[in-house]
Amino acid sequence: MYSEIFETIYPINISKKEKGVRVSAVDAGGLGCEIGLEAGDRIMKINGHELHDFIDFQFYTGSEDRVRLDVIKKTGEALQIEVEVGEGEIWGLDFEYFSPRQCANDCLFCFCNQNPVGARESLFFKDEDTRLSFLHGNYTTMSSISKLELDRIIEQRLSPQYVSVHATDPEVRRHLLGRKRTDDVMAKMRYLADRNIDLHAQIVLCPGINDSDVLKRTVSDLSTLHPQLSSVAVVPVVFTRLHNYHHLLTAVTDRYARDLIREMRPLQREFHRRLGSTFVFLADEFYLRAGRRVPARSHYGEYPQIEDGVGMVRRFVIESKQAMRRNLASRLRIGRGSLHGTVATGRLFYPVLSTYVSQLNERLQTRLKVVGVENRFFGEEITVAGLIGGRDFLSARDEFEGDFLIVPEQSCLKSGNIFLDDFCLEDLERELGVPVSHGGGSIVSLIEKARDLESK
């Protein structure tokens, strides 16, 4: 019954690469080492199944007691190796990471279309890869997905999948994605849901395009996929004058955020009554911009969309209140009156963070200053912490006090310590002349970072 939805679907743009998967490292004592595999060898097949990435390797070796590998050694020699896999035995192999599949859409709201000169190179790459969705929670539109790839998700249980829906009205969705043809995202999601693949959805809300009645239809349509589709995140469009399509977009205002919260409240209550969960969640940014308290802990359930900025503030508040009830000085091994430094954040989160740091200073006589940093890299209208560039922190140096600086963990890649403007944590540390680190998501983690920095 689903065959008709694939008639106009085209293959995703896939980077050319060698067949098979290349071994990048071999652990001594592992099964791979025992059978003579080396870094640089390429495994082509497992029990006759062609490999495209390390996920295939894990799937085809995961439940087999006897495995036949077709291998091309780094010398060019082709081998076929058969091995018995004992219970609890590990392969001890690391593999090259696959080249992500690139998105062929031209979305009106895509953040890649507004990167300033000097932005981190990876920010210009638009991925559309269901493997990354499964592994890291990346969102894909599934607009160009093939039935072969959908069936692979089902066969290998690449669940959950995170889907950028934006609108279930085909024409509105086509317009938002910048496509020439419409696609039936509901049919593709239902194909997965009917086969027990868990789903989460995202709506980038663009005022005047996919809000109001379009939004109500979208969340209503998506609710028919519950419980396999268990959450929908509604996040605000973010753009600057650098955006290719800024003239086609309308910014989210504080008043708009207030009206949206009021409009969505009855729907959320109805979903909670009918489905047993809030189901559709608004990003924290809407509540902060509206000057409204974020919903209670019960609203968020298991925080299914926290990586999309949904529930982070509530969790921070809860953990901060719990921390304040404990003997922090003793537990964290800090002396009263110690910790003199600065905690930087975005201007949106500044009021929340400042409130709890002030309480901390009062209780422990710490001297932590909170600074809301202006975003000069993307523009002052961008106020979220995760989009602050490294040089933005440098520009705010006159506001910093004390012996160290803590920056938001979302603004800096932990791998390589690189900010969005390609400025490194080490560069910032050298320029400021004080230790710098990215912080955590709670008051306790901030104190631990501050303690470690002060001891340097």
Dmax over Cα atoms in the chain, in whole Å?
70
Asked if 374 and 368 count as a contact pair (C-beta separation under 8 A), the reply is no
Which pLDDT score, from 0 to 100, does residue 335 have?
67
380 is a domain residue: yes
Q: Is 174 inside any structural domain?
A: yes
> What range defines the domain where residue 37 resides?
21-95
Q: 211: number of CA atoms within 13 Å, CB side?
A: 21
Angstrom CA distances, 329 to 107, 288, 341, 438, 443, stand at: 50, 31, 17, 22, 13
- Report pLDDT for 147: 94
Which residue, 268, 289, 309, sits at the end of a domain? 309
Residue 128 shares a structural domain with residue 79: no
CA distance 370 to 200: 35
- The count of domains in the chain is 3
The verdict on 224 and 271 lying in the same domain is: yes
**Which residues on adjacent β-strands are paired with residue 368?**
341
Looking at 309, 330, 354, the residue that finishes a domain is: 309
Interstrand relation of 21-26 and 42-46 (parallel, antiparallel or unpaired): antiparallel
Mean pLDDT split into 10-residue runs, the chain, 456 residues: 41 56 94 95 96 94 91 94 90 92 91 82 84 94 95 97 98 96 96 98 98 98 98 95 89 97 97 97 97 96 94 93 74 73 95 93 90 93 92 96 92 81 92 90 83 79
Indicate whether 157 and 290 sit together in one domain.
yes
- 312: β partners: none
**144 and 43 in one domain?**
no
pLDDT at 415: 66
Q: Is residue 432 in a domain?
A: yes
**Is 3 among the domain residues?**
no
- In this structure, are 235 and 136 located in the same domain? yes
Same domain, 128 and 269: yes
Q: Could you give the C-alpha distances from 223 to 186, 269, 270, 273, 277, in angstroms and in order? A: 11, 13, 11, 13, 11
Kindly state whether residues 240 and 381 are assigned to the same domain: no
The full length of the chain comes to 456
Domain with 166 in it: what CATH number? Answer: 3.80.30.10
Together in a domain, 167 and 190: yes
* Model pLDDT for residues 217-235, shown as the tens digit of each residue: 999 999 999 999 999 999 9
Q: Determine, yes or no, domain membership for 149.
A: yes
Alpha helices in 307-416 (DSSP H): 312-324, 328-331, 350-364, 390-395
Does residue 135 belong to any structural domain of this protein? yes
- Strands 405-407 vs 280-282: parallel, antiparallel or unpaired: unpaired
CB 377 within 8 A of CB 392: yes
Are β-strands 93-95 and 21-26 bridged in parallel, bridged antiparallel, or unpaired?
antiparallel
Q: In terms of domains, do 273 and 364 share one?
A: no
Pair 260, 301 in one domain: yes
Residue 101 resides in a domain: no
- Distance separating alpha carbons of residues 179 and 182, to the nearest angstrom: 7
- What is the reported pTM? 0.88
Residues 47 and 135 in one domain: no
Backbone angles phi, psi at 85, to 5 degrees: -105, 110
At residue 329, the pLDDT reads: 60
**Same-domain pairing of 300 and 322:** no
Note whether residue 396 is domain-resident.
Answer: yes
Which of 289, 309, 329 is the endpoint of a domain? 309
